[in-house]
Structure 1
Amino acid sequence: MDKTKMAYFKDEDILHIIISEEKEADSIELSPNITAELNESGELIGIEILEASSFLRDSILESSQAKILKLKKTV
């Protein structure tokens, strides 16, 4: 497997995570705005995230708040 790469397209706000340079044969929508790209064998070769800045912001805030709440409960 090649080294994972990322490409961000600022104008479109799309983050593309490239796991392998293999040709895409299929794709599956994992959730709104997130698509898994598959090779001919059905293996994951990439992920495309639309509205990436909002997705990352929300994911970071959600996981940070969850950790903060857990820390407060243990104190």
Structure 2
Amino acid sequence: MNNSKMAYFEKEDILHLTISDEREAGSVEISPNITAELNEDGDLIGIEIINASAFIRDSILESVQARLLTASGK
């Protein structure tokens, strides 16, 4: 069964991705503004992205720029 859920909190600009309904036992900062949430076994159960709108915008721009460079042969 897929328990994945996504919630966006506009006022705080936080995107929360839930992979499992398991209880969070810890977390690890993957990079600034991105935190991996872990269960008791250390398995990934969720991801939290702070300043989500900027992160998504920048990710999309990087992807598009890379594809344009590839398409233009540079």
Question: TM-score with structure 1 length normalisation?
Answer: 0.94
Distance 2:37 2:26 in 1: 6
Distance 1:65 1:52 in 2: 20
1:14-25 equivalences in 2 (<5 Å)? 14-25=14-25
Q: Which runs of 4+ in 1 moved over 6 A?
A: none
What residue number does 2:70 align with?
Answer: 70
Letter in 1 for 2:4: T
Three-state SS of the structure 1 residue aligned to 2:41 is coil
Structure 2 unmatched ranges of 5 or more? none
Instruction: Tell me how many residue pairs correspond in the alignment.
Output: 74
Shift of 1:37: 0.1
Question: TM-score with structure 2 length normalisation?
Answer: 0.95
- The answer on whether the counterparts of 2:27 and 2:37 sit within 8 Å (CA) in structure 1 is yes
Letter in 2 for 1:46: G
Identity of aligned residues (%): 65
What residue number does 2:50 align with?
Answer: 50
Alignment RMSD, CA only?
A: 1.2
Q: Which moved more, 1:38-47 or 1:1-10?
A: 1-10
- The answer on whether the counterparts of 1:37 and 1:47 sit within 8 Å (CA) in structure 2 is yes
- The answer on whether the counterparts of 1:2 and 1:21 sit within 8 Å (CA) in structure 2 is no
Letter in 2 for 1:42: G
